[in-house]
Structure 1
Amino acid sequence: MADINLNEQNPEENRFYAGFGRRIIAGIIDGILLILISGFTAYYLGLTEGWRMLLMMIRHEEVRTMDGILVTTALPGQVATFILVTCIIIPWLYYALLESSKNQATLGKMAARAVVTDLHGNRITFARASLRHFSKIISILTFCSGFFAIIYTRHSQGFHDIIAACLVYYRQEKIE
């Protein structure tokens, strides 16, 4: 009789969904990395003026350029560019590129040993990863209930996972 490895025969049987705690840890790691990446990118692209002006706006101070000129627009171009690059473009590319890569995970998910797949266990496309990323806005706008849904749904899916038709699995350590 030949030895049959059940894991190779039906890989679906040994898959576990990544739970809320594992995904929170991955999110914290990704958040820290995104702050670092965005900060360095803003510095090297010369967007620090936008950061400085944004801080002045938050503190309800008069917004002035480095030359001392008073800015009277509601949203100065430097601030808009800073927000666009650091809060929209960099996180989108980080999540979409890494989750659609061969690793199927961001750096935080890799550390937490989680992978993002479609409903059939296949790697997701860049478009689906982008949809999943921007769908997180819905999860946030519903008072984060979209993230808490991970605890209560059958396949540990948040609203953004359901919208993008994705699953997040826990990748077990292989001991050989």
Structure 2
Amino acid sequence: MSFGKRVIAWLIDVLVIQFILQVFLIGFLNFRSLYYDFLLNQSERMDVDLEAIGGIFFESGFFFKFAVVLSVILSWLYYAAMESSKLQATVGKLAIGSIVVGEMNERISFGKASGRYFGKIISSLVLCIGYLMVIFTEHRQGLHDKMAKAYVVDKERLAAYLAETEKNMDGVTKIA
């Protein structure tokens, strides 16, 4: 799968993840607002310091830290769950017609997909050379793909290859 197509898939996935993240964050802000109103009501009736009962929930910077942690968790679950599912691809990869497979063209496990996701951190170090490897390696693998022993392949070409291989194997078994 070419580098350009993989960039397009990545951009689509970023949009999907951002949409999901925004839904969670808006829900969190609504919950926080309701909680703040509740605490404000309680502090007026009991003459209690709002900051004392609100705790870390209203600390400056808490929302930013929460958003970063939530973003990492959602991204990891999105990539690992989608790539290890029966679809074998994220929404972006499906849009460009590619899937993620293991060394024997099999569906990868959630653990392997997780390793591939966290390997992207290493791929992004030092000017994203791990991603640029897709341009230069024989099987168009990035560093994170090599680490997970995974491949991003064109779904139609893989299906044709497997059909041809099966056809050739039928011929071999008939001879024997």
Shift of residue 47 of structure 1?
Answer: 8.1
Which position in structure 2 is the counterpart of 1:79? Answer: 64
Counterpart of 1:117 (choices 101, 112, 126) is 101
Counterpart contact for 1:47–1:78, Cα < 8 Å:
no
Which position in structure 1 is the counterpart of 2:90? Answer: 106
Counterpart of 2:126 (choices 142, 164, 171) is 142
> In structure 1, what is the Cα distance between the partners aligned to 2:111 and 2:133?
23
TM-score scaled by structure 1? 0.70
For residues 78-127 of structure 1, what are the alpha-carbon distances to aligned partners after superposition, in whole Å with 9 as ceiling and x for unaligned?
A: 332221012x1000000000000001000000001110001110000000
Q: Name the SS of the counterpart of 1:169 in structure 2.
A: strand
> CA 1:76 to 1:147, structure 2 compared with 1: closer, same or farther past 3 Å?
same
> In structure 2, what is the Cα distance between the partners aligned to 1:99 and 1:20?
18
RCO comparison, higher one (Cα < 8 Å, 6+): 1
> In structure 2, what is the Cα distance between the partners aligned to 1:151 and 1:81?
36
Q: Name the SS of the counterpart of 1:142 in structure 2.
A: helix
Q: Which amino acid aligns with 1:32?
A: L
Structure richer in helix, relative to its length = 2
Structure 2 residue runs without a partner (length 5+): 33-50, 160-176
> In structure 2, what is the Cα distance between the partners aligned to 1:23 and 1:83?
24
Percent of aligned pairs with the same residue?
Answer: 36
Q: Which amino acid aligns with 1:160?
A: H
**Number of equivalenced pairs:** 136
Q: Which amino acid aligns with 2:63?
A: Q
Structure 1 residue runs without a partner (length 5+): 1-17, 50-66
Runs of 4 or more above 6 Å deviation: none
Counterpart of 1:89 (choices 40, 54, 73) is 73
Q: Which amino acid aligns with 2:4?
A: G
1:27 aligns with 2:14: no
TM-score scaled by structure 2? 0.70
> In structure 2, what is the Cα distance between the partners aligned to 1:90 and 1:161?
20
Q: Which amino acid aligns with 1:35?
A: Q
Q: Which amino acid aligns with 1:22?
A: K
| Bigger-Rg structure (1/2) | 2
